[in-house]
Amino acid sequence: MSLKDVRLIELPKIEDPRGSLTFIEQANHIPFEIERVYYIYGIPAGASRGAHAHKKQHEFLIPIAGSFDVLVKDGNLESSYHLDRSSCGLYLPEMVWRDLCNFSMGSICLVLSSGVFDEDDYIREYSEFQKEVEMLS
């Protein structure tokens, strides 16, 4: 995978005087089967999250509240995304390094994942990630 596979996906947003509603349908909006859902919250000022890649899992990050930045790398290139709308999420395929940072106060990041938690699927050292990318090339 490369950074060309990382993309923002707009989700449906229904608005009326009572507020807004956004929904996610696996077959229509997310390019993978959802196996796990988790959320990141209570992030202290200045803290960052992520700092890993997945060998096989795909993820979709949604800023349910607040905002944060996602820095992505594919071993050659890097790009940054600012997530601040709960009707737009970021698709991350396998073998893309991610760092989440610059969380605003009260931020909540909802993550939809294509797999259950599996420590063996994580690459937690960037130098190891670079070696894996080179082997795949």
Catalytic residues: 52
Q: Which residues contact 40 (CB under 8 A, 6 or more apart)?
A: 49, 100, 108, 109, 111
* DSSP state, residue 44: P
User: Rounded distance, CA 97 to CA 80, Å?
Assistant: 11
Structure tokens at 128: 């190891």
Angle at the Cα of 67 (from 66 to 68), degrees rounded to 5? 145
